[in-house]
Structure 1
Amino acid sequence: MMKTLSEKELIQIRRHLHTIPELALHEHQTHDYLMKVIQSFDQSHLTIKTFQQLPTAIMVRVGGSNPKRTVGYRTDIDALPVKEQTGLPFSSHHQNIMHACGHDIHMTVALGVLNYFSIYQPKDNLLFFFQPAEESEYGGKRAYEMGLFHDEWKPDEFYALHDNPNLPAGAIGCRMGTLFAGTTEVNVDLIGKSGHAAYPQDANDMVVAAAEFINQAQTIVSRSINPIQSGVVTFGKMEAGTIRNVIAGKARIEGTIRGLDQAMIKRIDQRLKDIGEGIARSFNCQVNVGLNQGGYLPVQNNPKLTKFFIHHMQSDPAVNFIATKPAMTGEDFGYLLSKFPGTMFWLGVNDTSPLHSATFNPKESAIQKGVNAIVGFMQDRMDH
């Protein structure tokens, strides 16, 4: 019988993945390396599938010995457009691209779990989904809409993790209900009339209109949302004008909405549209409010499965379980959880640098602990 990957081998895999980060839908080198590792496992119970319509995605099915369900496990494989500043000997080889969100950790843990069950055949069927495009381009939604989950490739329940620098290395964090917020991209185009700075009466100033739109949008959370609930409206980018003495005839505002449930996101969406209509009337201009949620729905954990997951992790003496609060970060696993019952959870990686930062350096000691915790959970789940 083959041996499971050692902690040292898992760390070597993680470090290699860290050197080859790639952006959403361009994870070709990552795909090839993952295939190489997966193909090195015992293939007795494995079926590997790739997809022409989503070429960097990989699915691996592990045939169960006495299956009554198919348990899905998803890991994301893409990276971010961040220039690494960790100084690590295994830093990114790809300029201005980095695994600054820890997807290299995610992939390595998934490979460790898959490797274990390739040797020790599970009772139930297992489905491992190596998913491209989580950070942008919503790969989970793409995969679902392309019909990738069908017949024996359809999970009855789905699980996934996200690393968390604020938790101790190897700790498992979870909660009932919403783990991550849903997110919507907001693009607002305001169109008026440019003109000379000395003759404002002959122009229609979109800098002033944009400023008023932003100010009014800040009242949505404070005056249109229940104070004991949570929502966020942030505008991170604004473009207008060409030179100081010309009144801007156009302005563009770009931002994001965050909400802990879909009804709240829709409420904020509608209030932004209402404000846009009001600005258009009061400034006699054109205001186009574009909203794009894509696949970034709130990550809402299934009550029954999450209760079982939490109970298992609390009962396992080898697991440091921590009950966590909801986070306003987005995750496209929320879309898959809207289609399949399941649970998302945190894996602690104990770092002083936050996710998405150029100095993010998760503790590698979390990898083996994460593998052990998930293997234990899956074995427990298959006994029930």
Structure 2
Amino acid sequence: MLKEDDLITIRRHLHQIPEVALEEVETHAFLMQVIGMMDQKFLKILEPKELPTAILVRVQGSDPSRTIGYRTDIDGLPVDEKTGLPYASQHPGKMHACGHDMHMTVALGVLDYFASHQPKDNLVFFFQPAEESEAGGKRAYELGLFEGEWRPDEFYGLHVNPKMQTGVIGCRMGTLFAGTTEVNIDVIGKGGHAAFPQDAKDAVVAASALVMQVQTIISRSINPIESGVITLGKFEAGTIRNVIADHARLEGTIRGLTQVMIEKIKERVQEICEGIERSFEVEVRLGLNQGGYFPVENDPVLTKRFIRFMQENPDVVYEEVPPAMTGEDFGYLLHQFPGTMFWLGVDGGAQLHESSMSPKEGAIQKGITAITEFLEYRMITEE
């Protein structure tokens, strides 16, 4: 079995080889190497050709009444690492700045335990590519990877949290992470001389009005006790000061804690765009792309059980946490299967996605212990 020193060595190697979405070839090979060293008696491994950097590992239960899924993401970010660590990224411009190296190591530790301690229920471990972009969870689902014996009845996954103390488990009922939707808007007007605005359709003026109206969605169309965000972070238009622009481009993001909230915001953006078209006699082309980044809405029954176990477990320090407006594509899978996502504290100083983020490795074994104990408990509960 993997000891804590082995796990730290694994994590540091993974940290040195970050790869971005759908390019996790070296990471995949190393994961397969580690998994291959485990007891294979209860294991079945799937390397899907349709999603070649993904890995699914099934652990056969001794007396299964369900199949429990556990997911870890494996991709890194296009970030230049600035930690100064001796095991810093060896891939220029890429880093595990979101802690996926920790996620993978914890998953390997849990898998290694059950490879040598046969679980009662079946387990399916999903080593998922492309969480940070390209919606790897959605891709896997739509490719049919979770069918037949690979279909989980419930799904679990964690995310590290550098704001929480090392090894602390954090969770909440309801939504843990927001869903996100990309917003792209093109305003098409008619160019002209700055001295003759009556002969043009000014895209800058129309787009500016659109920006101001969009800012009223949260304050005037959304229940103030609920949460949503819409930010238009990019505005491009025009070529020179004395020419009225015929085109403006806006790009932004929508975030909401429920899918109902996101749909409401999207509906209002559409209505505002239609109104701008009529008011300014321009064409407005709206593109909304949510992909697989749905809100991470924890299942009420499974999550209540998970929280109760963590609160009562003497080996665990548990904290109730607020929702976060960051996105996570595990939300898509939780809209297909009931499940729970939770935080693992890593006391990393710098925040997620920062170039100096450095999680405390003492969280690895604590996370493995909490998860394996919970899964064993879950297997003996009937409901």
Aligned-partner SS, 2:324: coil
What's the counterpart of residue 193 of structure 1? 190
Show the 5 A alignment for 1:134-283: 134-283=131-280
Which of 359, 366, 369 aligns to 1:369? It is: 366
1:17 partner amino acid = L
1:200: Cα distance to partner?
Answer: 2.8
CA distance in 2, matches of 1:96, 1:209: 39
CA distance in 2, matches of 1:183, 1:361: 26
Corresponding position: 1:64 with 2:52:
no
1:96 partner amino acid = G
1:245: Cα distance to partner?
Answer: 3.3
Q: Once structures 1 and 2 are overlaid, which stretch shifts more, 91-100 or 139-148?
A: 91-100
What's the counterpart of residue 105 of structure 1? 102
What's the counterpart of residue 76 of structure 2? 79
What's the counterpart of residue 316 of structure 1? 313
| 1:277-299 Cα deviation digits (max 9, x unpaired) | 11111111110111111111111
What's the counterpart of residue 96 of structure 1? 93
CA distance in 2, matches of 1:209, 1:360: 42
Aligned-partner SS, 1:163: strand
TM-score (norm 2): 0.97
CA distance in 2, matches of 1:273, 1:158: 34
What's the counterpart of residue 24 of structure 1? 21
Aligned-partner SS, 1:8: helix
CA distance in 1, matches of 2:350, 2:274: 41
Aligned-partner SS, 1:181: strand
Aligned-partner SS, 1:328: strand
Q: Which runs of 4+ in 1 moved over 4 A?
A: none
1:68: Cα distance to partner?
Answer: 1.1
Corresponding position: 1:43 with 2:40:
yes
| 1:324-355 Cα deviation digits (max 9, x unpaired) | 11111111111111111110000111122111
1:155: Cα distance to partner?
Answer: 0.6
TM-score (norm 1): 0.97
1:207 partner amino acid = V
1:66: Cα distance to partner?
Answer: 1.3
Which of 327, 346, 354 aligns to 1:349? It is: 346
1:247: Cα distance to partner?
Answer: 2.5
CA distance in 2, matches of 1:101, 1:21: 11
1:56: Cα distance to partner?
Answer: 0.6
2:92 partner amino acid = Q
CA distance in 2, matches of 1:207, 1:298: 33
| 1:68-87 Cα deviation digits (max 9, x unpaired) | 11110000111111111112
CA distance in 1, matches of 2:15, 2:234: 30
CA distance in 2, matches of 1:364, 1:202: 65
What's the counterpart of residue 357 of structure 2? 360
1:201: Cα distance to partner?
Answer: 3.0
| 1:110-145 Cα deviation digits (max 9, x unpaired) | 001001111111111110000111111111111111
Which of 303, 306, 319 aligns to 2:303? It is: 306
Aligned-partner SS, 1:118: helix
1:275 partner amino acid = I
1:202: Cα distance to partner?
Answer: 3.1
Q: Could you say what the CA RMSD is over the residues aligned between the two structures, in angstroms? A: 1.1
What's the counterpart of residue 286 of structure 1? 283
1:18: Cα distance to partner?
Answer: 1.0
Which structure 2 segments of 5+ residues have no match?
none
| Identity rate, percent | 66
Corresponding position: 1:133 with 2:130:
yes
Aligned-partner SS, 2:354: coil
